[in-house]
């Protein structure tokens, strides 16, 4: 029996390439044929197979460099692959592949649609926690785009702005071909017991770049734990503040009664200063120390409704931080004692004046203030007796001619010749402690004239109240009555020049102030803004002048030599 299958198979394969002759009606094989006349690709590109049939050697040539044919030549029947790269344009681009064999040719048209203008987030929604450590308070979004764009954030529910995109740089340097980048969003902690939402809109920057579809990303934040107005609420507030400050000490043991927590004091029913019966068992005093934050005191501080004494001290790398105190602490209606030591503060809020009705002591030492906050006046804080502004030095310096070269300011620096801040502080009659050591204050100490700017001299009534003739010299010589209640004044390690004024040299409590250490000595090898060596020109070598003027003080202060009998 004859084998006919190969012949039938050949006929079947050749069937698509058979052409008809109108002249004689007989079937004949074409010398060159391709199975497709048109192929179309999407913007992403891809590959398409073509079946080529020729009785001779053939070659294929692409009209544009963005498409490739493989193989590009052959003989007889063969399969070719047309490969197209992803598009670089927004519109349709066209090309051809021409097959040639002998004197015949066949053409295949290649079309590729372009990319639309797009800015799209991989995720349509992201959820973040209510709180976290500072370096964990961010989220990422993967964005695909082919146009320059900006970010606009909206808050449908209103409220504070709590989300911010970090600076980014995106250039559509691949034409219309999209590329992907990662955006970072920083978020603030949520202190409210409700979820909040931010809608991120991606806006084309160039006029005419209209997106194929609006592009948004929804970022929602979980609700904070509800803090109630009771003892349990106080404990939750303390734990949250501890976490958000990123405190480095061991956390409180929550299995223990809050009464046994370190650095926490609760109100007792027997306390004379108990602000209200419901304050019993609530936090009266608390200290936080050794922490690492770039932010103000956590907002949960407002839940410590009856706190009387608050201390937050020792932030890490304080000199590198510039923190504005938030308003939350200002709403503590029973606060009498506030310490914000080495926090990195540069500003106090306007609301700080709300503490004036109660505040008695304020410690702002070792911060980065460049000036004494204007809100600190006797009128605003009539009950304040202790004000500590020691060591507001961001950087160390001995020559104030170089002060302007320091980034973010050198620290608490002003000149008494043009700034009346020191004059204002020295007129604060109710202060018992005014501590200004180790700053960058330059100029001369203010000298006061009785009868001017509210200054008055010592009177006989002052002499009698102090103890008779002990300070009679002050009334007889019209000495200005400055800081009459001061138990301590410190001005050392600044950049003062000029003379020590009479009001200081003869102050009734001068020797209580340890003046040799805390008044007279200024910055070692220091020079002021004029290049002058800093020192007082009339520093006394001893206090004999003082004992002669105020004879009642000799017995109190003069050291007597005593020789014991052997």
What's the CA gap between 496 and 506, in Å, rounded? 19
Confidence at residue 91, expressed as pLDDT on a 0 to 100 scale: 67
Q: 302 phi and psi, to 5 degrees?
A: -65, -20
Confidence at residue 90, expressed as pLDDT on a 0 to 100 scale: 65
Q: Which of 87, 112, 137 is the last residue of a domain?
A: 112
Does 14 have pLDDT greater than 80? no
Angle (CA) 70-73-77 rounded to 5° is 95
530-555 per-residue burial string, b: 16 or more CB within 10 A, e: under 16: eeeebebeeeeeebeebbebbeebee
In a domain, 53, yes or no: yes
Does 513 have pLDDT greater than 90? yes
In a domain, 35, yes or no: yes
3-state helix, strand and coil shares in percent for the chain, rounded to the nearest 5:
20, 30, 50
Res. 171 pLDDT band, cuts 50 70 90: confident
Res. 28 pLDDT band, cuts 50 70 90: very low
Res. 18 pLDDT band, cuts 50 70 90: very low
Confidence at residue 175, expressed as pLDDT on a 0 to 100 scale: 67
| Tokens standing for residue 250 | 């061991």
| Structural domain of 146 | 119-221
The pairing of beta strand 323-324 with beta strand 345-347 = parallel
Does 442 have pLDDT greater than 80? yes
Q: Are residues 159 and 16 in the same domain?
A: no
How many domains does the chain divide into? 3
Q: Which of 112, 131, 159 is the last residue of a domain?
A: 112
In a domain, 242, yes or no: no
Confidence at residue 118, expressed as pLDDT on a 0 to 100 scale: 81
Q: pLDDT, tens digit, for every residue of 427-441? A: 999 999 999 999 999
Confidence at residue 470, expressed as pLDDT on a 0 to 100 scale: 87
- For residue 54, what is the enclosing H or E element? strand 46-54
Confidence at residue 252, expressed as pLDDT on a 0 to 100 scale: 94
Q: Enumerate residues 6+ apart whose C-beta is below 8 A from 426.
A: 434, 446, 448, 482, 483
Res. 89 pLDDT band, cuts 50 70 90: confident
Confidence at residue 11, expressed as pLDDT on a 0 to 100 scale: 36
The closest alpha carbon to 510, from 476, 475, 549, belongs to 549
Confidence at residue 30, expressed as pLDDT on a 0 to 100 scale: 54
- For residue 265, what is the enclosing H or E element? strand 264-266
SS3 258: helix
Q: Which of 169, 186, 221 is the last residue of a domain?
A: 221
Res. 242 pLDDT band, cuts 50 70 90: very high
Does 473 have pLDDT greater than 80? yes
Confidence at residue 8, expressed as pLDDT on a 0 to 100 scale: 35
Question: DSSP characters for 292-354?
Answer: --SSSS-GGGGG-TT--EEEEEEETTGGG--EEPPSGGGG-TT--EEEEETS-EEE--GGGGG
Q: Are 174 and 148 in contact (CB under 8 A)?
A: no
Q: Are residues 48 and 143 in the same domain?
A: no
Q: Are residues 124 and 108 in the same domain?
A: no
Q: Are residues 199 and 52 in the same domain?
A: no
Confidence at residue 210, expressed as pLDDT on a 0 to 100 scale: 78
Kindly report which listed range (67-81, 366-380, 416-430) carries the lowest average pLDDT score.
67-81
Confidence at residue 517, expressed as pLDDT on a 0 to 100 scale: 96
Q: Are residues 91 and 150 in the same domain?
A: no
In a domain, 323, yes or no: no
In a domain, 438, yes or no: yes
Question: DSSP characters for 62-122?
Answer: ESSTTEEEES-EEESSEEEEEEEPPPSSSS-EEEEEEEEETTEEEEEEEEEPPPPP-EEES
Confidence at residue 26, expressed as pLDDT on a 0 to 100 scale: 39
In a domain, 315, yes or no: no
In a domain, 127, yes or no: yes
In a domain, 343, yes or no: no
**Rounded to two decimals, what is the model's pTM?**
0.73
Percent residues over pLDDT 90 in the chain? 71
Q: Are residues 452 and 549 in the same domain?
A: yes
Does 27 have pLDDT greater than 60? no
- Per-residue pLDDT averaged across 113-123, rounded? 81
What's the CA gap between 93 and 64, in Å, rounded? 10
Kindly report which listed range (37-41, 86-90, 122-126, 450-454) carries the lowest average pLDDT score.
86-90
CATH number for position 160: 2.60.40.10
SS3 141: strand
Q: Are residues 497 and 402 in the same domain?
A: yes
Kindly report which listed range (179-188, 259-268, 375-384, 387-396) carries the lowest average pLDDT score.
179-188
What's the CA gap between 457 and 401, in Å, rounded? 38
Q: Are residues 534 and 404 in the same domain?
A: yes
Q: pLDDT, tens digit, for every residue of 490-508? A: 999 999 999 999 999 999 9
Q: Are residues 92 and 137 in the same domain?
A: no
Q: Are residues 134 and 9 in the same domain?
A: no
Q: What is the mean pLDDT of the chain?
A: 89
Q: Are residues 102 and 181 in the same domain?
A: no
Confidence at residue 173, expressed as pLDDT on a 0 to 100 scale: 72
**Which of the residue ranges 27-41, 118-132, 511-525 has the most confident prediction, judged by mean pLDDT?**
511-525
- Per-residue pLDDT averaged across 342-353, rounded? 97
Q: pLDDT, tens digit, for every residue of 291-318? A: 999 999 998 999 999 999 999 999 999 9
Res. 426 pLDDT band, cuts 50 70 90: very high
Q: Are residues 97 and 123 in the same domain?
A: no
């Amino acid at each position: 029996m004859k084998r006919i299958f190969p012949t039938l198979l050949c006929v079947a394969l050749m069937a698509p390439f058979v052409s008809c002759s109108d002249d004689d009606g007989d079937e004949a094989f074409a010398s060159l044929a391709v199975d497709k006349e048109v192929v179309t690709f999407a913007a992403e590109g891809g590959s398409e197979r073509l079946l080529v049939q020729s009785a001779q050697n053939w070659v294929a040539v692409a009209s544009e460099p963005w498409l490739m044919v493989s193989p590009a030549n052959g003989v007889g029947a063969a399969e070719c692959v047309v490969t197209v790269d992803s598009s670089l344009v927004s519109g349709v681009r066209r090309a051809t592949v021409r097959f040639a064999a002998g004197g015949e040719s066949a053409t295949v048209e290649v079309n590729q649609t372009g990319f639309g203008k797009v800015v799209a987030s991989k995720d349509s929604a992201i959820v973040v926690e209510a709180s976290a450590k500072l370096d964990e308070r961010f989220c990422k979004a993967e964005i695909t785009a082919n146009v320059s764009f900006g970010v606009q954030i909206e808050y449908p529910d209103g409220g504070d702005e709590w989300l911010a995109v970090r600076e980014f740089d995106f250039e559509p340097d691949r034409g219309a071909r999209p590329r992907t980048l990662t955006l970072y969003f920083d978020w603030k902690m949520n202190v409210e017991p409700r979820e909040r939402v931010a809608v991120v809109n991606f806006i084309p920057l160039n006029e005419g770049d209209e997106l194929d579809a609006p592009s948004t990303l929804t970022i929602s934040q979980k609700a904070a734990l509800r803090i109630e107005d009771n003892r349990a609420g106080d404990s939750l507030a303390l734990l949250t503040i501890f976490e958000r400050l990123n405190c480095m000490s061991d956390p409180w043991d929550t299995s223990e009664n809050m009464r046994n927590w370190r650095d926490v004091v609760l109100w007792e029913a027997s306390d004379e200063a108990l602000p209200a019966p419901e304050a019993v068992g609530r936090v009266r005093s608390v200290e936080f120390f050794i922490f690492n934050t770039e932010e103000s005191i956590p907002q949960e501080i407002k839940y410590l409704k009856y706190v009387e004494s608050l201390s937050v001290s020792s932030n890490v790398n304080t000199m590198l931080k510039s923190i504005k105190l938030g308003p939350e602490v200002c709403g503590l209606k029973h606060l009498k004692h506030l310490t914000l030591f080495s926090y990195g503060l540069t500003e106090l809020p306007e609301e700080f004046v709300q503490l004036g009705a109660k505040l008695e002591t304020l410690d702002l030492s070792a911060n980065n203030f460049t000036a004494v906050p204007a809100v600190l006046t006797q009128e605003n804080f009539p009950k304040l007796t202790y004000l500590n502004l020691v060591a507001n030095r961001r950087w160390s310096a001995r020559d104030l001619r170089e002060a302007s070269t320091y980034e973010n300011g050198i620290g608490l620096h002003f000149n008494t010749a043009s700034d009346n801040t020191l004059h204002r502080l020295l007129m604060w009659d109710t202060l018992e402690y005014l501590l200004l050591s180790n700053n960058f204050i330059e100029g001369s100490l203010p000298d006061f004239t009785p009868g001017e700017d509210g200054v008055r001299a010592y009177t006989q009534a002052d002499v009698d109240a102090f103890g008779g003739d002990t300070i009679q010299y002050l009334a007889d010589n019209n000495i200005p009555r400055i800081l009459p209640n001061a138990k301590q004044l410190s001005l050392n390690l600044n950049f003062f020049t000029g003379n020590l004024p009479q009001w200081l040299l003869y102050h009734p409590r001068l020797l209580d102030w340890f003046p040799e250490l805390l008044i007279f000595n200024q910055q070692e090898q220091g020079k002021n803004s004029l290049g002058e060596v800093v020192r007082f020109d009339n520093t006394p070598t001893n206090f004999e002048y003082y004992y002669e003027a105020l004879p009642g003080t000799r017995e109190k202060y003069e050291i007597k030599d005593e020789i014991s009998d052997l």
